[in-house]
């Protein structure tokens, strides 16, 4: 069973370790965060900025934990505006292909509706990431059009949360 845990200040070390351990894996399908992100100063500043956005109610950041409490992913609800948010997620290479992302997004749909009062989610993925497209489709998202993600061709998706 997976759980979503809201991002906290004391998560910094675990999140940095997660990002470092999976950097090459993530870079295959999503834009790399860049070397500055992984420096002590860069990461601490970014973590503090995320917590400030969360405190302001602009975004909701979560860790995805497996049944043993191991960090296996991150899931973000960004730009909460007018009852909607942009969904983003990533899972460890070791969790890929095991339904973790699909289950985490399903859980996020319920949390978004129940805890944050959201009525819809949008998401986007690059064309070279069919696994992410499958996760969204399995969770009832529908493609709404093409987009560019850091210059790479992609597809945007939408999901109403009525009965999430």
First-residue to last-residue Cα distance in the chain: 18
- pLDDT (tens digit, 9 = 90+) per residue, 25-69? 887 777 667 777 777 778 889 899 999 999 999 999 999 999 999
For the chain, how many structural domains are there in total? 1
Report how far residue 64's alpha carbon sits from residue 29's, in angstroms, rounded to the nearest whole number.
19
Does 99 fall in a domain?
A: yes
Q: How many other CB atoms sit within 10 Å of the CB of residue 91?
A: 28
Does 127 fall in a domain?
A: no
Does 103 fall in a domain?
A: yes
Does 69 fall in a domain?
A: yes
Better-predicted residue by pLDDT, 77 or 126: 77
Q: Which domain holds residue 50?
A: 3-121
Report how far residue 116's alpha carbon sits from residue 69's, in angstroms, rounded to the nearest whole number.
23
For the sheet containing 3-6, what is the strand order? 3-6, 60-65, 71-81, 84-91, 120-126, 152-160, 142-149
Does 42 fall in a domain?
A: yes
Does 136 fall in a domain?
A: no
- pLDDT (tens digit, 9 = 90+) per residue, 133-151? 999 999 999 999 999 988 8
């Amino acid at each position: 069973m997976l759980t979503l845990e809201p991002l906290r200040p004391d998560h910094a070390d675990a999140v940095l370790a997660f990002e470092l351990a999976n950097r090459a894996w993530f870079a295959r399908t999503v834009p790399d965060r860049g070397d500055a992100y992984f420096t002590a100063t860069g990461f601490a500043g970014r973590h503090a900025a995320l917590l400030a956005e969360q405190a302001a109610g602009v975004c909701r950041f979560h860790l995805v934990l497996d049944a043993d409490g191991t960090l296996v992913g991150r899931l973000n609800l960004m730009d909460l505006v007018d009852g909607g948010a942009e969904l983003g997620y990533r899972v460890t290479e070791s969790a890929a292909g095991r339904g973790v992302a699909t289950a985490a997004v399903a859980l996020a749909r319920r949390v978004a509706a129940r805890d944050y009062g959201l009525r819809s989610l949008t998401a986007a993925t690059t064309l070279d990431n069919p696994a992410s497209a499958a996760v969204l489709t399995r969770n009832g998202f529908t493609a709404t059009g093409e987009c560019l993600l850091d210059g790479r061709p992609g597809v945007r998706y939408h999901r109403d949360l009525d009965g999430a």
